A = this chain, B = another copy of it.
Amino acid sequence: MVTKQFSGSAEDADLARADSLAREIFSDVANKWALLIIEALGDRTLRFSALRGEVDGISHKMLTQNLRMLERNGLVERTVHPTVPPRVEYTLTGPGRALRATVDAMCAWTHRHLGHIETSRRRFDA
């Protein structure tokens, strides 16, 4: 095994790079629309317009923007059928489905603690 000489080594640089990458990914993914899209997709394959119908309140622009980002990070797969009118389908990839599991957990958490949060809010707002 190679001996570490001092801080500031190549391994440290790698770790720093990995950390900043992790942080970047986290920032991409940890936003309302991205998580709602992942949750809405589930294990289905949906067209753009259908998907938009599932994610309540999302605008055309936000949907495309977030879908591009998710595709870039390899969380959703985009399939274009060269027909007219065009038919584009979205589905979660392996990593995407893995992330969905944790989003499911977050949703479950939300519903489980609705009551606690509501009363906490009322107390705080007074």
Point out which of A18, A26, A107, A124 has the most chain B C-beta atoms below 10 A from its C-beta. Answer: A26
- Is the Cβ of A110 less than 8 Å from the Cβ of B22? yes
Helix, strand, loop or mixed for chain A's interface? helix
Size bin of chain A's contact surface: 35 or more
A1 at the interface (CB under 8 A from B): no
Closest to A108 in B: B102
Neighbour of A30 across the interface among B30, B71, B98, B120, CB < 8 A = B30
Q: What are 15 A-B interface contacts by the 8 Å CB criterion?
A: A21-B117, A22-B107, A22-B114, A25-B114, A26-B110, A31-B32, A72-B121, A73-B117, A74-B121, A95-B109, A95-B113, A95-B116, A95-B117, A98-B112, A102-B105
